[in-house]
Structures are given as C-alpha cells and as structure tokens.
Amino acid sequence: MKFWQAASFSEPEQLVEIAVVAEEVGFDGILVSDHLFHPEKLESRYPYSPDGKPDFTPQTAFPDCMAVIAAMATVTSRIRFASMVYILPLRNPVEVAKTTGTVGVLSNNRLVLGAGAGWIREEFDVLGVDFKTRGRRLDESIEVLRKLWTGNVVEHHGEFFDFPPLSMQPAPSGPVPIYIGGMNKRALRRAARLGDGWLGPGQMPEDAEATAAELERLRREAGRGDRPFEVVAPLVTPPDPDVLKRLSERGVHGTVSYPFFYALGPTSTIEQKRGVMEQFAEGVIRKVRA
C-alpha cells in the first residue's frame, strides 16, 4: 500500500516545505490539484458532491501544478508527485509534453501525470476549447504525449492534433506514467484501456474494493491485464490500518491523506501540517507496513 498526501488548497508558500516533511515522515507521494481559474459565477456542476458544489471557493489558490511539482522535486529525492487531476483536454498536448517531459527529467522520473476530462465548462469556454469533445481530445492527447516523450522523430495526424515529423528534447528516460481520474463508466474504461493507473474520488472501503475489481475486469477485457497498474483510492472513512491491509490484498495499491483543509481548516501553519502528517505516518503508515 502506497500513501499519498494531498496538498490541495494549501497555502502556496508552504508547498515546498510540505513535500520535505511528507518525504521525511514516510509518505510515498504528493498530490497537487489543477484548475486554471474560478469563474465569478460557477454554473458547472461538481460531480462528486450531492449539491453539485465543490469545496473550493474563488479565493482558493490553485498554483500551476507542474511548477509546484518541479519546485518540490528540487528539495526531495524519493517521493513521487502526481496531478489530481490535470485537465489534459484543456491544453495542447504538444506543450504539455514539453512541460511534463522536462519535469520528468528534473525530478528523476518521479512525476505521475494524473489526467482527467474536466468538469468546469467555463474553463474550456475561456480557452476556446470544445467542452463536448473533451473525452476524445483526452484520448488523443495521451497518444500524442507518449509519442513525444520517446524523444524520437515522430509525427501525428489525428482528429484534433496534427504535426509533421519532429523530436522533442529533453525526453524523460521512460514514459511519464498516466493515471486516469474520474468515477464514471467512461473514466474507468479509459483508465483500463489507456492508463497506467487510476486516481479516484473519496469512496467507502467496500466501494473502493468493488472499483478495483471492476478495473481489473476492464483491463483484462482490453487485453492489458498483465501490465503494471496502480489503483489509488482515497477513502471517506477514517483510515483504519486493518481495512487498508484488506484493500491492499484486494487490488487497491494506494490511498490518500486528505487535504489539510479538512483537518485544520482553511489556513494553518506548516508546523500544524507537520503534526497531521506525523500522526498519519505513525497511526496508519507504520501500522499497515508492520
């Protein structure tokens, strides 16, 4: 079982130190959220709450997640970093390949690209990107990224993106793993068909177990059951070492210590955050691994 600390909603000036502490106490990874902006009037419905409203507000900081990960990588040596999740179809994948490939090189291959289709239509509208085709754009973007990360001379002629033979340097020494985010059937099928892993929303333990089983079934159906794949399932219940051990045996490979916002409120000091991480490490990580 791998343990990830969510850094979402944290004060930007504390993010680098959060990574230092997380690595020090024994976490395996840091999760960083992605949004370009918050519309003054948010009409899009958040898919993971009963009322359709997200926990964040117009005042919530969303620093560029790749810039944050690059900064965190310079002060750590072991811990991994994932975007949860990067709205890939909102961007041009050629530019994304340059940024993520560079971060992959600078972090010594510790970057995971957590990618999703996105749900805030207003972000797409401002950038002039068709919201309705975001699923197909996401699929094609994954294909483009994996071509460009090789560093070889490649070309692409698809529905949304087209470029002649070219190479992109620096290239990571291996492909950046892509974990697909999302809970709906399309997201699960996409993860099974195209992903190296899956990043979920908060679930009950029994639901996380069922999702892991469904992903395994879909991966076998897609002929990819023998490939490495990581299921990261945050839980809505308090972290119980016995429950996590059981989930680990049932195909759940990772879970998440929730953002400090939930444990400490909208603002907190780095020492308070250290206390939360130390408590999680002592009460959960060490007991699961004992």
DSSP 191-217: HHHH-SEEE---B-HHHHHHHHHHHHH
- How far is residue 248's CA from residue 238's CA, in Å, rounded to a whole number? 16
Mean pLDDT of all residues belonging to the chain: 97
The pTM of the full predicted model, rounded to 2 decimals, is 0.96
| Number of domains observed in the structure of the chain | 1
Q: What is the pLDDT of residue 94?
A: 98
* pLDDT band per the 50, 70, 90 thresholds, residue 37: very high
Q: What is the mean pLDDT of residues 236-265?
A: 96
Residue 120 pLDDT class (50, 70, 90 cuts): very high
- The stretch 272-288 carries a mean pLDDT of 98
User: What CATH number is associated with residue 109?
Assistant: 3.20.20.30
| pLDDT class of 156 with cuts at 50, 70, 90 | very high
pLDDT digits (tens, 9 = 90+) for 4-20: 999 999 999 999 999 99
Tell me the residue type at 39. P
Query: Would you tell me how many other CB atoms lie within 10 Å of the CB of residue 57?
Result: 11
Cα separation, 39 vs 126, in Å, equals: 10
Domain that holds residue 231: 2-289
